[in-house]
Structures are given as structure tokens and as C-alpha cells.
Amino acid sequence: SSLMANTKHPQSAICLQMRTESFREKFLPLNDILYKVAFYILESEADARDAVQELYLKLWSRREVLNDVSNPKAYCITLLKNSCIDTIRRRSRQTLPEILPERDDGMEQADRILARERLANVLEAVKSLPERQREVLLLKTVEGLDYKEIEKKTGTNGIMLRVLLSKARKTTREYEKDR
């Protein structure tokens, strides 16, 4: 049936193919970065893979409006972060098992929740940074680039790069203390 629809309306098939190609070019290369973000938040390989897969399904279902997205990476990271936080909230609301875990396990869960809340604060702090500071901080911490690679990518000299990173880190630490 869908094959016949394509033969009756060849332009719609071409349009879909162009959207598919655009989706592949803009969003699929972000997979590794998105996985790192999800893993950092969820602390589980399986959960991180699931979160990224769910994100791609959500993106694909919204593909008609994705052409309006000016920064696919930031858009994806924001959606993924929100999805991961929702997952954590759902987990914390689940009913307790019939056999309660030992006290140590409960403390570990509390520590994980605090760590995730801290991450949410850090992400907010990063959002509040001036653009150049945010850019170099994300290139260094999320993408794992070394100083030379960041210099090439941004055109910022080594000394200024270190100053921007230092200011960004200081601001995020201060932001976190205020929370």
C-alpha cells in the first residue's frame, strides 16, 4: 500500500527521502555525545542506550519541524537531559519492593539522587555561561577535545582558552554553591 502511494505521488517520496537524508546528516552524528550525556546522568549503559534510542524515536516522529531547529546538538541535549531527569523521577516514585534494601543500599540511592540533582544544577550553570565560555567548556568536557583541537575549532589562542575554561569552571562551582 505504501509502495503504491509512492508511485502515485513520487514527489512526496522524494520529499521524505530528503527529510530522511537531512535527519541522518544533522542528528545521527550526535549519537556518541548523546550517549555520554545520558550515561553521565543515568549511570547505566543500558539505560543510556535506551534514553538515546527513545530520543531518536521522538526526533523522528517530529521530523517535519526539525528543519526549524537552529542548533541540533543543543536541542538534542536539552531533550535528552529532560528525558533522563523524568526517568530518574519515575524511578524515585516507584513503590518500594516487598523486601526493603539494606540501609547502605538506600544511602547509595540517596547519593545518586543528590548527584543527579547536582548535575541538573551544573547543567543550569553551564546554560547561564557566556557563549564562548560555554563553548570551550563543552568542547573540553563533553566532547573530550584537547587544548590544541579546541584552539583549531574555535580560533582561540591557548592562553585565552585556559582563561575561558577557568572562568567557566569557577562560575559553575559558584552557581552550584548558591543552590
Q: In this predicted structure, which of 65-69, 80-84, 104-108 has the lowest mean pLDDT?
A: 104-108
Choose among 23, 14, 89: nearest CA to 56: 23
Confirm if 52 and 80 have CB atoms less than 8 A apart.
Answer: yes
pTM summary value: 0.48
Residue showing cell 574555535 = 154
83 within 8 A of 42, measured Cβ to Cβ: no
DSSP states of 40-99: HHH--HHHHHHHHHHHHHHHHHTGGGGGG-S-HHHHHHHHHHHHHHHHHHHHHHSPPPSS
Confidence of residue 107 (pLDDT cuts 50, 70, 90): low
Q: Give the mean pLDDT of 61-68.
A: 84
Mean of all residue pLDDT scores within the chain: 78
Give the tens place of pLDDT for each residue, 109-123: 777 777 777 777 777
* Whole-number pLDDT of residue 17: 53
pLDDT class of 28 with cuts at 50, 70, 90: very high
Residue 100 has pLDDT above 60, yes or no: no
Q: Which of 35-39, 137-141, 158-162 has the highest mean pLDDT?
A: 35-39
Percent share of the chain, pLDDT over 90:
17
| Burial (CB count within 10 angstroms: exposed 0-12, middle 13-18, buried 19+), residue 99 | exposed
Q: What is the pLDDT at residue 55?
A: 95
